[in-house]
Structure 1
Amino acid sequence: MSNPKLTSLVFFLFVISFPTIESTTFPADTAALAAFKSAVKPSSIPPSSCLASWNFSAADPCGVPRISHFTCGVTCSGNRVVQITLDSQGYVGTLTPAISKLSQLIALDLGDNSFYGAIPSSISSITNLETLILRVNSFSGPVPAAIAKLSALETLDLSRNQLSGHLPDLSSLAGLTRLDASYNRLTGPLPSLPPNLHELALKANSLSGSLTKSSFAGKNRLVVIELSENSFTGALESWFFLLPAIQQVDLANNAFAGIAVSKPPANFNSQLVAVNLSYNNMEGLLPATFADFPALRSLAVSHNKFRGPIPWQYSKKGSPLRRLYLDGNYLNGHPPAGLLAAAEEISGSLGDNCLQNCPVSSGLCSTPQKPNSICQQAYRGKP
């Protein structure tokens, strides 16, 4: 007759002698990863790279423990792939449409490689995607309008590629806080923007048209605007500098022709810190009201067509200005005495203007002024 206690002990030892069987990766995820790797040229995969570790016949991507077989660049939650973050190895290949099969993907980062071809529209099927980083590659063609379906997207970085065409309307992406598509070949006007955007960077494209109030309406969280090196035209109106959260503005190297800057309302807590409007076609007098922005530390309006005197308000007591670049205009008269007295505290340049008594001994005046003949011509013979 058998002993029940002995039988129970033997069964217990039998169970613990075998490791717990962990769940394997969702088959569609493994197939999508394999398709992703197959779209990359083998000759561009170094032996020590992340992609070289993707050997799914020997290792389960989401298998536990991940000690003997570690799939570099892949993060899982349970048996689903939720993140791909590739190392910067110069991988050459296309982004397979099969990437859409990774339906639980939250982050896709292929930055600093050599992927080329189109961004597949099927990427819009990854509805949980929060971070999409494709910067510094060679993607070409248009930005897929289908990206606007990625309702969970928070960060979109497409910078330094060869993307062309119009930027699609992304105003439906309520969660998007960072958009960077700088250094591409994008054309057309600025579309309506996501409502909760914090950072907008579209510099070094071929965008055109004027900046309309409708494009920025309701953008109460926009902190950084970088639109330099484009072909924007028209005038900058007062509302632009009164966006509620704006801190940094870079609109250099465009074709803006005018500017209007109103004094901030008494109950408006302006956070504007830096403004760069250099290399445009702005004419008229320098707006003295820039001095009324209590946090403005850097103002650059170099190489425009501003005339008249430098506003004395720029040197008033308590001014926060610490960087002032006014060179390359047609400013005349005498520089404000307070500005020259504070030259050790303020960096920048007043050179290449039509100023009188701007001592070269001052750091602000180290660059010479324009020849008198040019200044007389600009002012029709009047100094």
Structure 2
Amino acid sequence: MALHNLNLLPYFLLPLISLLSNHIPPAQALTAPSDISALKAFKASIKASSIPPWSCLASWDFTTDPCALPRRTHFTCGLTCSPDSTRVTQITLDPAAYSGTLTPLISQLTQLSTLDLSENSFSGPIPSSISSLSKLQSLTLRSNSFSGSLPPSITNLKSLESLDISHNFLSGFLPNAMNSLPNLRRLDLSFNKLAGSLPKLPPNLLELALKRNSLSGSVPKSAFTGLIQLEVVELSENSFSGTLQSWFFLLPSLQQVDLANNSLTGVEIPKPAGNGGGELVAVDLGFNRIEGYPPVNFAGYPVLSSLSLRYNRLRGRIPLEYGRKKSLKRLYLDGNFLIGQPPAGLVTGGVSGSLGDNCLQACPASSNLCLPSQKPNAICKQAYGGRKGKGKPRS
């Protein structure tokens, strides 16, 4: 019987009905209409044929409110809502090979803190309207097919802490205002087609990864000024040239450096200072065009355990200090024009790596460190002007 027909009920039941009506649970709060329209546009921008029936997006059925609980059959995964179930705060898709574009209407999800579309097949440009996501802390578009430039408006995301758009087809230059991202800790734009030089970088970076792009020019001090927390720099497989200067290795928190496969012609290695360089653990400068002698100052970095200078144009002798360095566990000097005998501490101290393809004498064949074999005598003599192992190498 309907509650509005109370006049038909016995008088003694009225207190009971009043008590029950006071304990009816309130209606479930509804998702903001702007968020619902954004989610609908988001799903509509993805090709229906690329949505597997078992996937998260397949469960996005808008006959049900997206944030309604419990989610037994609809919106079972892929999004997270605020505690009051009114706003969408995270979109984290499963890697289901979804294909389509990223709708500009994503900007309506103004409470979004995480957007992760990684390991799918999204394509097209990254919409500039993404800059309206003022609460966004993590943007992960890794391993898709996004193209075009990185929109300059992305530098308006002041809350952003992690940006990963690696393994895509981005082109053009890095935005000049990258340093205006005050909270960015991790930046990974590796495996794209970005060109130009490095702009000034965000001041609180911990990790920088720009591997396998087309970046060029020198590694400028102006880009790294003030980065006192930077620990990891991965710039391999680009076209950086010139001399890597001493200031770089004195960045106070620097631990890992990978600048392999570039066109560097020189490197300045300072002695570690009290305010910088003491944390350096691994350095890879292999496959460049670095000339001169193997830098002896690397031996002064207290925790350096891995060093690669392979396939450069180094000459002269391997510093004896390398053989005395207890922390050194991996050393690659192969593919240069080094002469003399390797320090005894290297071939007997359990160091892995390679000293092969040089001009060394008496590198013990019993040591794996001496593989592959040394260069032919004629090549070594030519490199040293016919005086292999005598005096200073010809520059």
Matches within 5 A, 1:144-163: 144-163=151-170
By how many angstroms is 1:70 displaced? Answer: 3.5
Structure 1 equivalent of residue 70 of structure 2:
65
Q: Residues 376, 37 of structure 1: CA spacing in aligned structure 2 closer, same or farther, 3 A cutoff?
A: same
Which amino acid is the alignment partner of residue 257 of structure 1?
Answer: T
Kept in 2: contact 1:360–1:367 (CA 8 A): no
Which amino acid is the alignment partner of residue 357 of structure 1?
Answer: A
Residue 193 (structure 2) pairs with residue 185 (structure 1): yes
Matches within 5 A, 1:141-290: 141-169=148-176, 170-266=178-274, 268=276, 270-290=278-298
Q: Structure 1: state its 5+ residue gaps.
A: none
> Which of 120, 124, 133 is residue 126 of structure 1 equivalent to?
133
What is the CA–CA distance in structure 1 between the aligned matches of 2:229 and 2:276, rounded to whole Å? 15
Report the TM-score when normalising by structure 2: 0.93
SS at match of 1:234: strand
Kept in 1: contact 2:207–2:231 (CA 8 A): yes
SS at match of 2:90: strand
> Which of 343, 347, 366 is residue 371 of structure 2 equivalent to?
366
What is the CA–CA distance in structure 1 between the aligned matches of 2:302 and 2:10, rounded to whole Å? 88
Q: Structure 2: state its 5+ residue gaps.
A: 1-6, 389-395
Residue 305 (structure 2) pairs with residue 305 (structure 1): no
Kept in 2: contact 1:291–1:319 (CA 8 A): no
Kept in 2: contact 1:81–1:105 (CA 8 A): yes
By how many angstroms is 1:8 displaced? Answer: 2.9
Structure 1 equivalent of residue 81 of structure 2:
76
For each residue in 1:8-54, what CA deviation from the matched residue of structure 2 results, as whole angstroms up to 9, or x when unmatched? 322112343x4420110000000000000000000000000011011
Residue 7 (structure 2) pairs with residue 27 (structure 1): no
Percent sequence identity is 57
Q: How many correspondences in the alignment? A: 378
Structure 2 equivalent of residue 293 of structure 1:
301
What is the CA–CA distance in structure 2 between the aligned matches of 1:358 and 1:84, rounded to whole Å? 58
By how many angstroms is 1:4 displaced? Answer: 8.8
> Which of 349, 354, 366 is residue 354 of structure 2 equivalent to?
349
What is the CA–CA distance in structure 2 between the aligned matches of 1:374 and 1:141, rounded to whole Å? 47
By how many angstroms is 1:338 displaced? Answer: 1.9
Kept in 2: contact 1:61–1:71 (CA 8 A): no
For each residue in 1:226-282, what CA deviation from the matched residue of structure 2 results, as whole angstroms up to 9, or x when unmatched? 000000001011111111001000000000000111111256561100000000000
What is the CA–CA distance in structure 1 between the aligned matches of 2:145 and 2:346, rounded to whole Å? 47
Residue 147 (structure 2) pairs with residue 140 (structure 1): yes
By how many angstroms is 1:5 displaced? Answer: 7.9
Report the TM-score when normalising by structure 1: 0.96
Which amino acid is the alignment partner of residue 373 of structure 1?
Answer: A
Which amino acid is the alignment partner of residue 251 of structure 1?
Answer: L
Kept in 2: contact 1:97–1:120 (CA 8 A): yes
